[in-house]
Amino acid sequence: MEFFDVLRTRRSIRAYQPTPVPAEAIEKIKEAIRLAPTGCNFQPFRFIFITNEEVRKQVAAYYPGKWLGEAPMLVAVIGNPEAAWHRRDGGESIVEIDVAIAMEHFQLAAADCGLGSCWIGAFNRKGVNQVLNIQAPWSTVILAPLGYPAQDAAPRTNKSDEELFSFID
Ligand SMILES: Cc1cc2nc3c(=O)[nH]c(=O)nc-3n(C[C@H](O)[C@H](O)[C@H](O)COP(=O)(O)O)c2cc1C
């Protein structure tokens, strides 16, 4: 797909067919994640691809939307704030920025493969960390279902140019 077609095609999908995700698609998605930039190239994250039904359902139970457990694959992205680059002025870890960029590479690669996904931030981190046995300083930053869409995405509105952009000439 052309780059801008991928950008236009990627939408948040909240209903999935049970068809498994093909292994070739996972390889493309892994490559897209590897190509993501990270602060100082520290790559302070891991992507955990879960197909095991019991584990998927246990993780999905920590998110209010029942549809999450129906996707044939659930991806948990864990980050280590101590292993990420830290800002020089305030000392904060930029782990969430690194994860966000890699996650969007994943989302765009999934769209390019004809697969649906959705960023999931509204989950209970403590619960998901327990299910996946994630030990501090690591923690789950974001989740994403992955699979073939079972319905079209909801209509979306975008802010106006005036609200989104300014130029200093
Ligand atoms: C950081 C982040 C967290 C999100 N968390 C959730 C979530 O918990 N549940 C959900 O249904 N969608 C979630 N979304 C998806 C947004 O609602 C969606 O991207 C937005 O409405 C725009 O729609 P689109 O992705 O189809 O363009 C999240 C998106 C981002 C970027």
Ligand 1 pocket: which of 8, 120, 124, 159 to mutate (most atoms within 8 A of CB): 120
Answer whether 73's CB lies under 8 Å from 145's CB. Answer: yes
Give the CA dihedral 11, 152, 111, 63, nearest 10 degrees: 60
Q: Whose CA is nearest to atom 30 of ligand 1?
A: 119
Peptide bond before 137: cis, by omega within 30 degrees of 0? yes
pTM for this prediction? 0.97
Using the mean position of ligand 1's atoms as its centre, give its distance from the Cα of residue 120 in Å.
Answer: 6
Answer whether 105's CB lies under 8 Å from 28's CB. Answer: no
C-alpha count within 13 angstroms, C-beta hemisphere, residue 20: 9
- Domains contained in the chain, CATH given: 3-164 (3.40.109.10)
d(CA 79, CA 36): 15
Q: From the CA of 11, give the closest atom in ligand 1.
A: 26
Residues with Cβ within 8 Å of residue 27, at least 6 apart in sequence: none
pLDDT at 154 (0 to 100): 87
pLDDT at 165 (0 to 100): 98
Is the CB of 119 within 6 Å of ligand 1? Answer: yes
Answer whether 75's CB lies under 8 Å from 144's CB. Answer: yes
pLDDT in tens, the chain (169 residues): 999 999 999 999 999 999 999 999 999 999 999 999 999 999 999 999 999 999 999 999 999 999 999 999 999 999 999 999 999 999 999 999 999 999 999 999 999 999 999 999 999 999 999 999 999 999 999 999 999 999 999 899 999 999 999 999 9
